[in-house]
Chains A and B, each alone.
Chain A
Amino acid sequence: GENVEQHPSTLSVQEGDSAVIKCTYSDSASNYFPWYKQELGKRPQLIIDIRSNVGEKKDQRIAVTLNKTAKHFSLHITETQPEDSAVYFCAARAITQGGSEKLVFGKGTKLTVNP
């Protein structure tokens, strides 16, 4: 089945710097890769996603890149701000035992942006 590895587990940057979080996946059939942000005490929320027919997607300060050949995808946050501090999860879509779909999540990256 699908396996998603996420690195680093913790990341500390200075305000204004860039942050990069990387994930690898194992199932070449996976075709959808969302990123979720979870602030302390809150629910995970989708911040950006990418499909396998696209190599890069950008939304203001956030971008995601996908390398299908190498089976890895990355989240890039530029001009980081203290409110970017949170745990970020990557995920890859996989097929369940019953033939429907599910997301397999990485273990998360705790990002701290220091003022």
Chain B
Amino acid sequence: ETGVTQTPRHLVMGMTNKKSLKCEQHLGHNAMYWYKQSAKKPLELMFVYNFKEQTENNSVPSRFSPECPNSSHLFLHLHTLQPEDSALYLCASSQAPSGVSDTQYFGPGTRLTVL
């Protein structure tokens, strides 16, 4: 269960705050993902990074800003969020290119509440 870690596990922020979510994978993978999980859209892909390069932005508002400094770390910078952004934010990683081992492994998530 320690292959993909996320911090913080819980975050409460106001609409004017700036905060960052952190994800770290210890599996030697080179693809990392951010997902948003809410009651309305259970597993909604936000961003994909492959070898530190962003290869997918799923029409995510600019108030969410990802950063991938290396293949092991992924950040999601948050600013001027809306209450509807409250959700569980999940990070995942996988081996890329896929083949024998292409399973995505998820972190425990950050439960975000925007007041």
Chain A interface residues toward B at CB < 8 A: 32, 34, 36, 42-46, 49, 87, 89, 93, 96-105, 107-108
Contact partners of A101 in chain B: CB under 8 A: 31, 50, 96-98, 102
The DSSP consensus for interface residues of chain A is strand
User: Do residues A100 and B56 form an inter-chain contact, with CB atoms below 8 A?
Assistant: yes
Which size bracket describes the interface of B in this complex?
20 to 34
CA distance A108 to B104 in the complex (A): 17
Q: Are B43 and A98 in contact (CB under 8 A)?
A: no
Cβ of B82 within 8 Å of any chain A Cβ, yes or no, is no
- Min CB distance A92 to B, Å, is 12
Known A32-B98, A43-B107: A100·B31 in contact at CB below 8 Å? yes
A108 touches B33 (CB 8 A): no
What is the minimal beta-carbon distance from A62 to any residue of chain B, in angstroms?
A: 15
